[in-house]
Amino acid sequence: MRILLLNPPLLTTPHTTDLVVNAPLSACLVTGYAGACLQQAGFEVQVADADVAGWTMAETAAFLSGAAYDLLGVHLKFLWERTPEILDLLAAVKRQKPAVHLNLYGHYPTFAWETLLREYPFIDSIARGEPEFILVELARQLAGPDRTAWRRIEGLARREGDKAVGNPLRPAIVDLDALPFPLRPPADLIARRQMHHYILGSRGCFGRCTFCYLNPFYGPEAPWRGRSPENIIKEINAVHRQTGSTSFYFADANFFGPGEKGRRRILELAALLKELDFPIVFGLECRSSDVEEEVFARLVEAGLRDVFLGVESGARSALDRFRKGTTVAQNERALKILRNLGIHISLGFINFDPGATLEEIKENLYFLQRMDLLDCPTTTAHLFFHRLVVLRGMPAYGQLLEQGRLHPAGFTGHEGEYQIADPRVEALARVMGAVARRTLEFTRGEDLWGAAGEKICSAGSMCVHGAGDGEAGLECSGTVSPPANGRWEAFNRLNMFLQSFLSGLIDEAAGGNPAREWIEQAVEKGLKGIEKVVRPS
């Protein structure tokens, strides 16, 4: 049984380049783990990471056509209107090699399995949830004497006649220490792509945010599961031996386990990281409720430099609606602690969602100003404009659909289209969308970087906490050149303009029910205002 695991090219459009919410960051090692488990079970496995290798679709097709394999596992990601291109590629593989078993895995197929199996008959099976053991079992059964046994594998979905059938789900993997370390792309490729060396120290989250599909992926009852600090250290040592790298990023959706036990585990891990023979730097993602001065001071001593903080909002009512389980005071406290420790912060923030109110947008503005988070126009534009993308699998998708407030749209109805309940906020979101886009065209992200090429902005990520980029796991903000002389003044003026523009817009919108003309006029006013401050006569 020859197995090929494919991570397809990450196709984007100008609209979706920044919307890296098609797979959480924690999914970046899914193929590596699946490959390692298959190897451990004695199978011959090849991994084709077309995304990390930077292959075009034609190069990927040529590779798939020339390689020999019996089972093709594909980490399929939702790529909006470009998703069908990947499916066309796979259809061509099946036409050329009809005996190959085609299996899809990952977050997107886990939630879209019925539609995919119904509408794309060349797909043989889909692994729902964690794919490692499903793929091992699938390979075993396909290699065995009973040609139909694979159809009964727990966690697998497949077709019966023209019907899509989902077998009972598998329980989430409990003992993460028992898993082999994931296969990784070649070190020179990682260096060339300026990627992190990712470590997955845990799976799942004890939070239950309405906009996050992390837990629905692992299974409704799946708890947060952590590896032992010793096991994590072993892997870091192994990666360092292979690559020489001293820079790591924890891809865990939530670095902390629940309660005192979770806190103690991190203190143990920090102590072990500090004792490594080679000093490392690392980053992590967490909730503001887990930020404690003592714990983070230990982590900084161990090499912590970057934190992606799931703040989400500066308004209590929005945090409650998101079922975030945190407060504005916790957000403020966390930001202060991280700042005092000199940690670079990226922010998960949602300014517009289906239930957003004018009062919340105003509270968000004050919060961001009060916390000095609007430190450059690229950051300000991102934070002001960020509108929640609702994808199938998120609890919010089902809730809004049931309430008749969401319309399944796009390929396989995977993205839910919605209007913000308050039409004034919907109008505001549209205006800010246009103004933010123009801002980003002007700044090109140059304002995020200091003269020496160091990242100087404290925030400014479009990523949603728990929903970062896909398999490749590139940084949210790409490296760009520092700004040319004279641009700084324009950036400062632009940053001030954006804040006063949004503030004025909120007041205007509060005065009435904005019609289409109001939106057009406000966009025009915003774009003219930008021109004026960036190119003063």
Q: Which residues bind ligand SF4 (CB under 6 A)?
A: 205, 207-209, 212, 214, 253-254, 287, 310, 465-466
Residue whose CB is less far from ligand SF4, 6 or 214: 214
Site of tokens 């470590």: 199
Question: H or E element: which one contains 156?
Answer: strand 156-160
- What SS3 state is found at 460? coil
Task: Report which of 128, 124, 133, 131 is spatially closest to residue 110, judged by C-alpha positions.
Answer: 128
Neighbours of 156 (CB within 10 A): 27
Q: Which is nearer to ligand SF4, 205 or 498 (CB)?
A: 205
Q: Give whichever of 215 and 379 is closer to ligand SF4, judged by the CB atom.
A: 215
Mark 330-356 as b/e (b = at least 16 C-beta within 10 Å).
bbbbbbebbeebebbbbbbbbbbbbbb
Shortest Å, Cβ 348 to ligand SF4: 7
Best CA proximity match to 126, nearest among 173, 90, 95, 82? 90
For tokens 């916390």, what's the residue? 371
Pick between residue 35 and residue 310 the one whose CB is nearest to ligand SF4. 310
The DSSP annotation for 261-309 comes to HHHHHHHHHHHHHHTSSS--EEEEEEEGGG--HHHHHHHHHHTEEEEEE
Helix axis angle for 358-370 and 487-510, nearest 10°, is: 150
Task: Kindly tell me which of 203 and 430 has the beta carbon lying closer to ligand SF4.
Answer: 203
Least separation in angstroms between residue 498's CB and ligand SF4 is 27
The smaller minimum CB distance to ligand SF4, of residues 416 and 445, is found at 416
**Minimal distance, residue 418 CB to ligand SF4, in Å:** 19
Helix, strand, coil share of the chain (percent; to 5):
45, 15, 40
Quick count: other Cβ atoms within 10 Å of Cβ 165?
14
Closest approach of Cβ 25 to ligand SF4, in Å?
Answer: 10
Asked if 193 contacts 51 with a C-beta cutoff of 8 angstroms, the reply is no
CB of 463 to ligand SF4, least distance (A): 11
Written as six digits, the tokens of 297 are: 């001071």
- Amino acid at residue number 378: T
Q: Which is nearer to ligand SF4, 310 or 314 (CB)?
A: 310
**Residue 6 or 209 having the CB closest to ligand SF4:** 209
Q: Read off the tokens for 49.
A: 């990471």
Contact 505, 522 (CB under 8 A): yes
Nearer to ligand SF4, 209 or 383 (CB): 209
Name the residue nearer to ligand SF4 (CB basis): 386 or 465.
Answer: 465
Query: Residue 481 has what DSSP assignment?
Result: P
Work out how close the CB of 308 gets to ligand SF4 at its nearest, in angstroms, rounded to a whole number.
10
Closer residue to ligand SF4, CB minimum distance, 193 or 333: 333
Which pair of tokens denotes residue 298?
A: 């230990």
Minimum distance from CB of 214 to ligand SF4 (Å)? 5
Beta bridge partners of 163: 160
State which residue, 323 or 339, has the beta carbon closest to ligand SF4.
323
Q: How far is the CB of 188 from ligand SF4 (least distance, A)?
A: 32
CB of 203 to ligand SF4, least distance (A): 11
Tally of CA atoms within 13 A in the half-sphere of 415 that contains its CB: 17
CB of 253 to ligand SF4, least distance (A): 4
Distance CA 132, CA 134 (A): 6
Shortest Cβ distance from residue 280 to ligand SF4 (Å)? 24
> To the nearest whole angstrom, how small is the minimum distance from the Cβ of residue 206 to ligand SF4?
7
Min dist CB 297 to ligand SF4, Å, is 23
- Both ends of the chain: CA-CA distance in Å? 70
Any bridge partners for residue 160, and if so which?
Answer: 163
Residues contacting 265, CB < 8 A, separation 6+: 226, 228, 229, 257
Q: Which amino acid is at 452?
A: A
3-class secondary structure, 22: coil
Q: Look at the chain and count its residues.
A: 537
Tell me whether residue 19 or residue 209 sits nearer to ligand SF4 (CB atom).
209
